[in-house]
Amino acid sequence: MICVRRARPDDAPGIAAVHVAAWRSAYAGILDEAYLAKLSETRLAAFYTRAILDRRDGHAVFVATAGGQDQPGDAPGPEAAIVGFASGGRARRRGLAEGEVETLYVLDDFRERAIGRRLMRAMAAHLRVIGCGSALVWVLAENPARYFYAHLGGKEAMTDMVTVAGRPVKQTAFTWPSIEALLSATAQVKES
């Protein structure tokens, strides 16, 4: 069973493990291999602990867990493992949208199971609750995940350069002018 719920501080190591695995998979050939090899789960776990506790600008982190008895509000079950996560809040850069999905990563073995869609829905619902009427996500232009966002109705709004590991990389903003459109695009699907 897959459960999507708000992240707790003790989820940070699992989130960090997903981050490292997803970056090494998704960004191979896009980002410097030496940089990807040096990603630190320990350092990222500390970062995500702070991110989970930081509620400024409506920030929130959601996790998808598989197995165990994990349910929203309960302690993780003995077999529950984090297999994906998403984070976001009010848009960091004003003008394109009111809310922003800052991260969304799912382990390769759990793709094609609607987990990304469910995490996007959790973020969209959260953004609506904090008063955001529109949403955006930035994705590296060469990342195949850009098709996922387009499939959910995201429209390419602009491109920009971001520096990763000291190297400029092109990124694309996908926007949903209506948060309701994103909620509709991510409506419940039967779990497989």
Is there a domain that residue 139 lies in? no
pLDDT tens per residue, range 91-115: 998 899 999 999 999 999 998 889 9
Indicate the pLDDT class of residue 68, thresholds 50, 70 and 90. low
- On the question of pLDDT at 70 being above 60, the answer is no
In a domain, 69, yes or no: yes
**Within a domain: residue 186?**
no
Summarize the confidence of residues 148-166 as an average pLDDT: 94
| pTM assigned to the model | 0.90
Residue that the structure tokens 């509709």 belong to? 184
**Max CA pair span of the chain:** 44
- Alpha carbon distances (Å) from 181 to 36, 117, 151, 152: 35, 13, 12, 9
Taking the mean position of all CA atoms in its chain, how far away is CA 69? 23
In a domain, 159, yes or no: no
pLDDT of 94: 86
Q: Is residue 172 part of a domain?
A: no
Write the CATH number for 29. 3.40.630.30
Give the range among 55-69, 101-115, 165-179 with minimum mean pLDDT. 55-69
Mean pLDDT of the chain: 91
CA distance 113 to 82: 14
Full domain range(s) for residue 123: 2-132
Q: Dump pLDDT digits (tens) for 122-141.
A: 999 999 999 999 999 999 99
Confidence of residue 144 (pLDDT cuts 50, 70, 90): confident
Domain presence at residue 67: yes
pLDDT at 96: 93
Six token digits for residue 79: 């077999």
pLDDT beyond 50 at 189? yes
Tokens 């940089």 correspond to what residue? 35
Establish if 173 belongs to a structural domain: no
Q: How are strands ordered across the β-sheet holding 99-106?
A: 2-6, 60-66, 81-90, 99-106, 135-140, 167-176, 155-164
Q: Average the pLDDT over 39-53 and give the result.
A: 97
- Whether 137 maps to a domain, the answer reads no
Residue 192's pLDDT is 45
Say how many domains are in the chain.
1
